Structure 1
Amino acid sequence: GADAACADWLDPLPRGEAVQISCTMAPVEGLGPRHLHFAPTRLALGVGAARNCPPDELWRLVEGVLAEAGASPFAVHSVNTIDVKADEPAVLALAHRLGVPLRLFPASALEAEAPRLANPSAVVMAEVGCHGVAEGAALLQAGPTGRLLVEKRKSANATAALAIADAAPEALAGRPRGRLSVVGIGPGQAAWRTPEVSRILSEADELVGYGFYIDLLGPLAAGKPRADFDLGGEEARCRHALERAAEGRNVALVCSGDAGIYAMASLVFELLDRPPERGGVSLAARRVEVTVAPGITALQAAAARAGAPIGHDFCAISLSDLLTPRADILRRLRAAAEGDFVIAFYNPVSRRRRTLLAEAREILLEHRPPDTPVILARSLGRPDETVRTVDLGDLSVDDVDMMTLVLVGAARTRRLELAEGTRVYTPRGYERKLAGGEGADPDGKGDAA
């Protein structure tokens, strides 16, 4: 093929007719198990798009540019654009469809390419601070010896240009779109950490979180840049993680338990939702990719250690009144008590807050018997873990600290003595169903669970 010289790594292979390898940047027909295509990745695609440009419109424009160049999509090594388009859905969809990285450039870098542009635009300069996005981004990525293969082409909402370099790049110019992964590492031990979270942590450029939680990662955190924050610095922690990702980094924000349950995921989205005048993050931070990876919660871990206390309807209530008015907490407590939910109390006490748990006990005793099982699970998954069961009537604030999850059974929750010790479970109603009592399915069709 035309680019066989770019495939000298094929030289040691034995010659023969068994397999044909076409070495060219042009499209190749008739590919299959005996006909392969090697396309040297020397092409840099530059694009621009109006806000909310339809993805299909940009794709059709790029298809036309590639056809005009006589180039295969496999010869494109990157999609390139201005950094303010880091979150443009059409651009993201294009990079995904081509299966190549997206690289971003500031307006100042693109403007430095103005002398090489074939179609400089004063309108574009007024809009984004440079005379050309598609051509400038393609040329920047192709390097100083690169040249335009296809000048800027336009549709109603998009632009595209194609540049060719002397050789495939060893490293890409520009920066990637930043990513913030909010991860839940579980209550403590590594065995409870999901494979997805472990992968995200291993791939992250840096870690942000409460220092104790990062320490729990052990070898996964070794050698990685980290930003440790104290308890109480939640907003500063999330803001720092977002702004670091805004610079093109792959950042992991580390939470214990599950990242979405009384943890940092909600605050991250809140900061993204706030306008700048109310303490929101920078525009660059609003363009980063944000993902949330689940983890095993303290509630799940406590329930598993104790048996199956959340086998029926349950809820979680935080007893911390730092962010939630005390009156709202008490209102939710009364509703959960009257509804006979199994209740998990997060943040049950602190050094200064000692009365809400006692009030919760008295409210619950109005609706369930004093011998209702209460599980006190402390430091789950860690060397000093303790799990014990007490009666609701005997629950004492002095038995609980900040590291304890309190799990209160419903009126129907039961204890079972086994060789391994006491187990607590909440029956879902199968015995009543078998007896044909209230709640039985008259058709005999139980749900899938």
Structure 2
Amino acid sequence: MNGWLAIAGLGPGDDAMVTPEVSDALAEATDVIGYIPYVARVAPRDGLTLHPSDNRVELDRARHALELARAGHRVVVVSSGDPGVFAMAAAIFEAVEHGDPAWALLDIRVLPGITAMLAAAARAGAPLGHDFCAINLSDNLKPQAIIDRRVRLAAEADFAIAFYNPRSRARPDGLATALAILRDTCADRRPILFARAVSTAQEHLHVVALPDARAELADMRTVVIVGSSRTRMVPGTRFLYTPRSAA
């Protein structure tokens, strides 16, 4: 049996946001590998083995998937959102680069998904309608000084910014630090969208001006979208957007 490895994005939460391409791969898979809550989103069936694992073991998870594919299994590694955005695709290719040379010869595909950033932006309107960037506020794999510099430079460049992993019990201060940098850099009342659990029953969207933004409005299920200086609400509506042009 010829094995293959698909690295798939399950979208932000709603099954309707899983792409047909990902659904087809899951239907053919013999093995599904991923972080515990993501694997839990895949329905068990005969002929399918689920391999949930804890957080922060991405390279171990990647090597396990590559070994199974080399042994002839049809493997899907699942991430939430898109697998190439702060997720498992980079870990797989890191393992391929530094691992068994035979892994580079495997049939490996990356199947895109709808990110939390894009789902949140769509719910709110079009806050990412002009130039934007995404910054992961987790300091697990990079120093806090790099995060701080990137936030400052993105604000100076007047990007809209999507913050991933804004706040957790282990890292309660990351978003507060980022907001302080924004206030020091941006002397305006640009809107900030706090979008929690988008596309699930727990979905909640909240927009505040930068001076009123507080870290306590976010948790690990929240994506935070900071507008640029030109981002605004459409008067009389709930819609937030960034104009397509810049002065």
Q: Aligned pair 1:194/2:10, yes or no?
A: no
TM-score normalised according to structure 2 size:
0.94
The 1-side partners of 2:185 and 2:144 are apart by 21
**Pairing partner for 1:424 from 230, 240, 243:** 240
Corresponding residue number in structure 2 for 1:260: 84
Q: 1:241 aligns with which of 62, 65, 81?
A: 65
Distance apart, 1:317 and its partner CA: 0.3
1:389 paired to 2:207: yes
Secondary structure in 2 matching 1:317: strand
Q: Which amino acid aligns with 1:339?
A: A
Q: What SS does structure 1 have at the residue aligned with 2:234?
A: strand
How far apart, CA to CA, are the structure 2 residues paired with 1:184 and 1:210? 12
Post-superposition offset of 1:387: 1.2
* 3-state secondary structure, aligned to 1:337: helix
Aligned to 2:126: 308
- Tell me which of 326, 341, 354 is aligned to 2:172: 354
Counterpart contact for 2:39–2:51, Cα < 8 Å: no
Match of 2:194 in 1: 376
TM-score normalised over the length of structure 1: 0.53
* Conserved 8 A contact 2:152-2:185: no
**Aligned-partner Cα distance in 2 for 1:384–1:217:** 20
How big is the shift at 1:206? 1.3
SS of 1:254's equivalent? strand
The CA deviation string for residues 119-178 of structure 1, in whole angstroms up to 9 with x for no partner, is xxxxxxxxxxxxxxxxxxxxxxxxxxxxxxxxxxxxxxxxxxxxxxxxxxxxxxxx32x2
Partner of 1:271: 95
| Equivalent residue runs for 1:127-276 within 5 Å | 175-176=1-2, 178-218=3-43, 221-223=44-46, 224-274=48-98
Structure 1, unaligned runs of 5 or more: 1-174, 275-279, 433-437, 439-449
Rounded Cα–Cα distance in structure 1 between residues aligned with 2:243 and 2:58: 38
Tell me how far 1:370 sits from its aligned partner: 4.3
**TM-aligned CA deviation for residue 398 of structure 1:** 1.3
- Could you report, residue by residue, the CA deviation over 1:168-204 in whole angstroms, capped at 9, with x for unpaired residues? xxxxxxx32x211000010111111111111111111
Q: What is the CA distance between 1:355 and its match in structure 2?
A: 2.0
Distance 2:176 2:6 in 1: 38
- The higher-RCO structure (CA 8 Å, 6+ apart) is 2
Per-residue deviation at 1:237? 1.4
Larger radius of gyration: 1
Runs of 4+ in 1 over 6 A off after TM superposition: none
Runs of 5+ consecutive residues of structure 2 not aligned to the other structure: none
Percent of pairs with identical residues: 46
Q: Does 1:407 align with 2:225?
A: yes
What RMSD, in angstroms, separates the aligned Cα atoms of the two structures? 1.6
Letter in 2 for 1:259: P
Equivalent residues, number:
246
Give 1:239's aligned amino acid: R
Shift of 1:222: 3.2
Q: Distance in 2 between matches of 1:369 and 1:415?
A: 18
Indicate conservation of the 8 Å contact 1:201/1:252, yes or no: yes
2:108 alignment partner in structure 1: 290
Residue 324 (structure 1) shift: 0.9
Q: Does 1:331 align with 2:155?
A: no
> Residue type of the partner of 1:260?
G
Distance 1:287 1:250, change over 3 A: same
